[in-house]
């Protein structure tokens, strides 16, 4: 999963570069200008419609800059991100269909469709990346909620906390050096990178009020072979961890192993 995260980040950076220059103000100004000209009968209304579509696309691009291309995506913002990416795909699909009609009417050459097809492929890939990032964000939120539930159980019903997670306090020490050793041991054992889902602070943890700095979440089920090996390794090295088997009662979601001490709550004003 760590490799997937790096691949996703690389793709996001690529699309961020492609969508680089801000067009929103220019598109707004163009719509206002054309609206005046249409009312005066100086230009046809279809030019205004085209400009309004360009404005809507620029607005969706701005949404994606804040979400898909930004650092602080949360579950709440994921819906806006997916809707914006989907609208951009639908606009390119309509543009391609309009282009095909012009070709069929012998008004435009067949080659004119290539640009429409290329644009459609680009925004479809963008949507795929948005969907992948939304899934990862949702998974991370499930993990964070599992930790939130454990915190509540530890405070109010400590005897039931073990139903949510297996706890090992170890020697209380977990740092970057410790994590590097765990990573190397896992990769040597399984021939692949440790599937890290959250490295330190994330927007999702902050949105739930948790300080996740200095902690790492690993997306493995503690009862599957990789999770069993990891728990045995952590126990043997006396490294603190929490092994979560579920996010909420009755659901097998949010399973992961949290490396380091339990996340703490942010203090008011801090």
18-56 pLDDT per residue, tens:
344 467 778 777 767 767 776 777 777 777 778 778 888
CA dist 258 → 44, 59, 146, 227, 242 (Å)? 61, 39, 10, 11, 5
Q: Which helix (H) or strand (E) holds 241?
A: strand 241-244
Q: Please state, rounded to an integer, the average pLDDT across all residues of the chain.
A: 81
The whole-model pTM stands at 0.65
pLDDT number for residue 218:
93
The pair of structure tokens assigned to 233 is 């390794």
Domain ranges of the chain: 2-140, 141-265
> In a 3-state reduction of DSSP, which class is residue 41?
coil
Residue 251, pLDDT > 50, answer no
Q: How far apart are CA 264 and CA 150, in angstroms?
A: 11
**Contact predicate 173/230, CB 8 Å:** no
Confidence of residue 269 (pLDDT cuts 50, 70, 90): very low
- pLDDT score of 78 more than 80: yes
The pLDDT of residue 41 is: 77
Confidence of residue 238 (pLDDT cuts 50, 70, 90): very high
Nearest to 83 by CA among 63, 97, 66: 63
Query: Are residues 221 and 227 in contact, defined by beta-carbon separation less than 8 angstroms?
Result: yes
Could you tell me the two tokens for 69? 């291309």
C-alpha to C-alpha distance for 27 and 20, rounded to whole angstroms = 15
Please give the Cα distance from 90 to 230 (Å, whole number). 45
Residues with Cβ < 8 Å from 248, sequence gap 6 or more? 145, 146, 149, 254
């Amino acid at each position: 999963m760590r490799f997937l995260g790096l691949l996703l980040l690389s793709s996001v950076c690529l699309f961020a570069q492609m969508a680089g220059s801000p067009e929103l103000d220019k598109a707004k100004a163009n719509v206002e200008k054309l609206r005046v000209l249409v009312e005066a009968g100086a230009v046809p209304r279809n030019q205004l419609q085209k400009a309004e579509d360009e404005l809507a696309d620029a607005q969706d691009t701005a949404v994606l800059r804040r979400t898909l291309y930004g650092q602080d995506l949360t579950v709440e913002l994921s819906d806006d991100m997916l809707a914006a990416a989907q609208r951009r795909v639908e606009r390119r699909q309509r543009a391609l269909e309009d282009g095909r009609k012009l070709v069929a009417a012998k008004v435009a050459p067949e080659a004119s469709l290539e640009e429409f097809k290329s644009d459609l492929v680009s925004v479809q890939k963008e949507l795929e990346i948005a969907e992948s990032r939304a899934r990862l964000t949702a998974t991370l939120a499930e993990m964070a909620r599992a930790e939130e539930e454990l915190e509540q159980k530890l405070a109010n019903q400590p005897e039931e906390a073990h139903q949510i997670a297996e706890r090992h306090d170890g020697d209380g020490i977990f740092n970057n050096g410790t994590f590097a050793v765990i990573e190397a041991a896992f990769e040597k054992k399984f021939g692949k990178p440790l599937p890290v889902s959250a490295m330190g602070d994330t927007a999702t943890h902050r949105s739930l009020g948790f300080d996740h700095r200095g902690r790492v979440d690993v997306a493995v089920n503690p009862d599957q072979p990789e999770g069993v090996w990891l728990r045995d390794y952590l126990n043997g090295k006396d490294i603190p961890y929490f092994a979560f088997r579920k996010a909420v009662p009755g659901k097998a979601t949010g399973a992961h192993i949290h490396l380091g001490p339990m996340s703490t709550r942010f203090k008011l004003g801090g």
